[in-house]
Amino acid sequence: MSAPLYGLLLTGGRSRRMQRDKLTLEYGGQPQLARAMALLEPLVERSFISVRADQRDDPQRSAFPCITDVLPEIGPIGGIHAALCTHPETAWLVLAGDLPFLNTATLQQLIAARAPHRLATAFRSRHDGKPEPLCAIFEPASLSPIEAWIAAGQRCPRDFLAHSDVELLTLRDARALDNVNTAAEYLQARGEFAERSAGAGNSAGRTAAGVKRRLNIQYFALLREQAGRSQESVTSEAVDARALYAELSAARGLKLQPEQLRVAINEAFADWSQVLSEGDTVVFLPPVAGG
């Protein structure tokens, strides 16, 4: 029986060549962190992001379950190592944070070809024929050889896979694993996504002021009592959660101030300034009191 499959998005890179956090780069109006997690989540049992200890408070990252590096400053192999340590009976679908062209079909190809009796399943690089470590499945048995590899002073996950028992696949979508390292590469990739979404009739989801959006609102605790309902569907021109709360607090007599509340959009904590999209579920969270 093969081990359960969890997902891990590597976000601990320093983005030195880009000089900007690669996970915040936007394609089609959405940051890469959210795009990658949206790809990963439906395909695995649980999904996590890999972070350095100093990234734990980053608001974009802390919206997701994080696994912090156990061994700091050794690059992506440290993230893979921490995940295997945290859940040693689990296989990990590991993804780099800078693969804007990655798609569901490519991940499905990888998962379908998974060979649990080997240490890993990976694509063959179209550049050098070596295994691609940063869109690959690492089986639980890879933990101890990875630890030995690190203990021997090695860092490169590609070399690790090249010296291991790996199921190697040929990529069907040749561009799916092209990564983005520099500002010039980013601008080119972003341009391609803009063309795609223009061709698809503004499917990117971002909307502007003056557009009416249908939103689902849920109320809890004191706000539920003040609103006299636990949910409602509204049509609003509010661009962000702050404007929406101003509208609703007037219409429904909500007496808590925004400073006392937090916001969740589509079941994740969000910023008050997050732009709303058609069909979003918005919840204003009164001060909590669990325990």
Partner 1 sequence: MSLFRFSSTALDTAALRAELTDPGCGAYAAFEGWVRDNNDGQRVTRLEYEAYAPLAAREGERIIAEAVSRFGLRGALCVHRIGALPLGEIAVWVGASAPHRDEAFRACRYIIDEVKHRLPIWKKEYYEGGDSGWVNCERCAAAVVHAGADAAPSAAPETHGHGHAHGPRR
C-alpha span between 82 and 71 (Å, rounded): 8
As a whole number of angstroms, the distance between CA 121 and CA 133 comes to 9
Could you tell me the smallest distance in angstroms from the CB atom of residue 197 to partner 1? 29
In angstroms, the CA 44 to CA 61 distance is 19
Least Å distance, CB 217 to partner 1, is 12
Is 60 a binder of partner 1 (CB under 8 A)? no
> Which of 206, 255 has the CB closer to partner 1?
255
- Scan for tokens 């029986």, then name that residue: 1
- From candidates 56, 196, 214, 229, binder to partner 1 by CB under 8 A: 56
Choose, by CB under 8 A, the member of 67, 143, 239, 276 that binds partner 1: 67
Q: Considering the complex, what minimum distance in angstroms separates the CB of residue 140 from partner 1?
A: 15
* Interface with partner 1 (CB under 8 A), residue from 144, 233, 260, 273: 260
Q: How far is CA 169 from CA 126, 161, 164, in A?
A: 11, 13, 15
Contact map string, positions 81 to 100, toward partner 1, x by CB under 8 A: -x--xx--------------
Give the shortest CB-178-to-partner 1 separation in angstroms: 31
Letter for the amino acid at 120? A
Do residues 121 and 138 make contact, with C-beta atoms less than 8 angstroms apart?
Answer: no
- Of 48, 160, 186, 193, the one binding partner 1 (CB under 8 A) is 48
CB-CB neighbours of 167 under 10 Å: 19
Is residue 252 part of the contact set for partner 1 (CB under 8 A)?
A: no
Got the DSSP string for 76-114? HHHHHHHHHHHSTTSEEEEE-S--TT--HHHHHHHHHT-
Nearest-Å Rg of the Cα atoms of the chain is 22
Binder to partner 1 among 112, 151, 152, 288 (CB under 8 A)?
A: 288
**Distances, alpha carbon 267 to alpha carbons 40, 173, 217, 264, 284, in Å:** 17, 32, 12, 6, 11
Query: For the chain, what is the largest distance between any 2 Cα atoms, rounded to a whole number of angstroms?
Result: 66
Tell me if 43 contacts partner 1 by CB under 8 A.
no
Among 59, 153, 201, 210, binds partner 1 (CB under 8 A): 59
Judged on CB neighbours under 10 Å (0-12, 13-18, 19+), 113 is middle
**Which range, of 57-65, 117-125, 143-151, 184-192, touches partner 1 by CB under 8 A?**
57-65
* Given 1, 19, 57, 112, the residue binding partner 1 (CB under 8 A): 57
For partner 1, the closer of residues 99 and 265 by Cβ is 265
- Cβ contacts of residue 289 below 8 Å, gap of 6+? none
Please report how close the Cβ of residue 89 comes to partner 1 at its closest, in angstroms.
Answer: 11
Which residue, 118 or 262, is less far from partner 1 as judged by CB?
Answer: 262
Is the CB of residue 59 less than 8 Å from the CB of residue 11?
Answer: no
Alpha-carbon gap, residue 164 to 185, rounded angstroms: 32
Shortest distance (Å) from residue 252 CB to partner 1: 16
Binding site for partner 1 (CB under 8 A): 46, 48, 56-57, 59, 62, 64-68, 70, 82, 85-86, 218, 220-222, 224, 255-257, 259-262, 264, 267-269, 283, 285-291
